[in-house]
Chain A
Amino acid sequence: AQSVTQLGSHVSVSEGALVLLRCNYSSSVPPYLFWYVQYPNQGLQLLLKYTSAATLVKGINGFEAEFKKSETSFHLTKPSAHMSDAAEYFCAVTGGGSARQLTFGSGTQLTVLP
């Protein structure tokens, strides 16, 4: 079984500031990890994914995340926030297996202040 905890349901940053969204996971097998972004009334778009290759993963729109096994974390960062980054972000984990199911965190709403 696997689970995901996203710390902070709401995060506010100023435009140009560092974005840090936290994700901790639990998995009984080596995990695959994902970050998705959702804009209002839209579906989810994949930002980046970790699939046991490099531990530092670069995604779209300048986002990156680092897989830290010792901390069971996969935090999402972006050096400089842009107004267009305002959205809801979801971390997801799969423990593998044939079912290919993802377990999602409860989401973090990012607000970017001018």
Chain B
Amino acid sequence: DGGITQSPKYLFRKEGQNVTLSCEQNLNHDAMYWYRQDPGQGLRLIYYSQIVNDFQKGDIAEGYSVSREKKESFPLTVTSAQKNPTAFYLCASSTTPGLAVAYEQYFGPGTRLTVT
């Protein structure tokens, strides 16, 4: 079955440590996104990538980094510079540009990160 996988489901880290969240898709989508979700605030865009080896900052990129070395993979690193890293992180992907369907994003199951 095609879809997006995120691992792990739950992640615990000590303050000051970097941590990398995995996102893999087998939908052959060219665009991928990372969102952060906090209670009552909806989803906020961290980074997005429209093509391999290229990515753009979203609304809240500070303290985060990404890479896009393969079409299928878009890992997110939460660095020690992120002041409030505890949140639910969602990865999404979307398909070919130029079509209305391109704006429909498919989401992974999420990773809940807790930093203490």
Number of cross-chain contacts by CB at 8 Å:
63
Q: Which residues of A contact B (CB under 8 A)?
A: 9, 32, 34, 36, 41-46, 49, 51-52, 90, 94, 96, 98-102, 104-107
* Binary CB contact string for chain B from 92 to 107 against chain A (1 if under 8 A, 0 otherwise): 1010010011111111
Contact B97 A43, beta carbon cutoff 8 Å: no
Residues of chain A within 8 A (CB-CB) of B100 are 32, 51-52
Q: How many Å from the CB of A54 to the closest CB on chain B?
A: 13
Contact A106 B104, beta carbon cutoff 8 Å: no
Give the segment of B11-19, B38-46, B61-69, B73-81 that binds chain A.
B38-46
B50 at the interface (CB under 8 A from A): yes
A44, A98, A106: the one within 8 Å of B90 (CB): A44
Residues of chain B within 8 A (CB-CB) of A46 are 104-106
- Secondary structure at chain A's binding surface: helix, strand, loop or mixed? loop
List the A residue with the shortest CB-CB distance to B99. A51
Residues of chain A within 8 A (CB-CB) of B34 are none
Contact B107 A41, beta carbon cutoff 8 Å: no
Q: How many Å from the CB of A34 to the closest CB on chain B?
A: 7
A41, A98, A104: the one within 8 Å of B43 (CB): A104
Residues of chain A within 8 A (CB-CB) of B45 are 101
| Given contact pairs A43-B90, A43-B109, A44-B90, A98 touches B42 in the complex (Cβ within 8 A) | no
Contact B50 A99, beta carbon cutoff 8 Å: yes
Q: How far is the CA of A95 from the CA of B94 in the complex (A)?
A: 15
List the A residue with the shortest CB-CB distance to B105. A102
Contact A105 B42, beta carbon cutoff 8 Å: yes
Contact A32 B103, beta carbon cutoff 8 Å: yes
| Given contact pairs A101-B45, A101-B48, A104-B42, A41 touches B90 in the complex (Cβ within 8 A) | no
Q: How far is the CA of A90 from the CA of B108 in the complex (A)?
A: 16
Q: How far is the CA of A46 from the CA of B104 in the complex (A)?
A: 8
B113 at the interface (CB under 8 A from A): no
Q: How many Å from the CB of B57 to the closest CB on chain A?
A: 12
* Binary CB contact string for chain B from 26 to 70 against chain A (1 if under 8 A, 0 otherwise): 000001010000001111010010100000101000000000000
